[in-house]
Amino acid sequence: MFPFVEIKVSSPLLVSGLLFLIAVYTDIRARVIPNIITFPAIFCGMVFHLWHMGWNEGLFFAMKGLVVGGGLLIIPFILGGMGGGDVKLLAAVGTWLGGLVVLNVFFYGAIAGAFNALFLMIIKKHRFGFMRIWNDLLHFFITRKRLPPPKEVDGFPYTVPMAIGFLIYIVRGGVI
């Protein structure tokens, strides 16, 4: 199918792909990623790696992925840029794939998210969306309080760019 690309299929990749499929569906449909998806995925990822890699190495691998995956999105979550479900989803994927892979998925997802945001700003003619973000950041660092969210929800489900980042990682491989 892809003669120039070696595609490595494994249980963690399949589980992560399934997680992204379910999360994209629920995030687009209801704008929420339920805990019933993320918490069992984190638990099962830890059990999987404990079983296959042993107590020390497996637990360290899964915990490193959990911390890296969740840690990458915690600041945007605190600043109100995304929901907690996105943080827990990337943490769950990190539990399955490990810290280095989830870092690559995040990198590709951030690029896809930037293109998506740029596209939405052009289509919806939101010239001041970028200024709103900087205003929020400045206000937070000065007062340590978040600005109230705008009345109208203008965001997009961030699971879509994260899932695109996952697919790019599968096809292209890591850059980090």
Burial bucket for residue 151 (CB in 10 Å: 0-12, 13-18, 19+): exposed
Mean pLDDT (whole number) for 4-31 = 84
- Describe the crossing of helices 55-78 and 99-124 by its angle, rounded to 10 degrees: 20
In this structure, of 5-9, 134-138, 147-151, 165-169, the range with the lowest mean pLDDT score is 5-9
Dmax over CA atoms of the chain, in Å, equals 55
Assess whether pLDDT exceeds 50 at residue 4: no
- Give residue 109's pLDDT band: very low, low, confident or very high (50, 70, 90): very high
Higher-scoring residue by pLDDT: 30, 121: 30
Q: What pLDDT is recorded for position 142?
A: 84
Mean pLDDT (whole number) for 37-55 = 95
Assess whether pLDDT exceeds 80 at residue 133: no
Assess whether pLDDT exceeds 90 at residue 131: no
Higher-scoring residue by pLDDT: 21, 136: 21
Assess whether pLDDT exceeds 50 at residue 18: yes
Assess whether pLDDT exceeds 70 at residue 148: yes
Residue environment code for 84-116, b if the CB has 16+ CB neighbours within 10 A, otherwise e: ebbbbbbbbbbbbbbbebbbbbbbbbeebbeeb
How many other C-beta atoms lie within 10 A of the C-beta of residue 20?
Answer: 22
Mean pLDDT (whole number) for 61-84 = 93
Q: How confident is the prediction for the chain on average, in pLDDT? A: 87
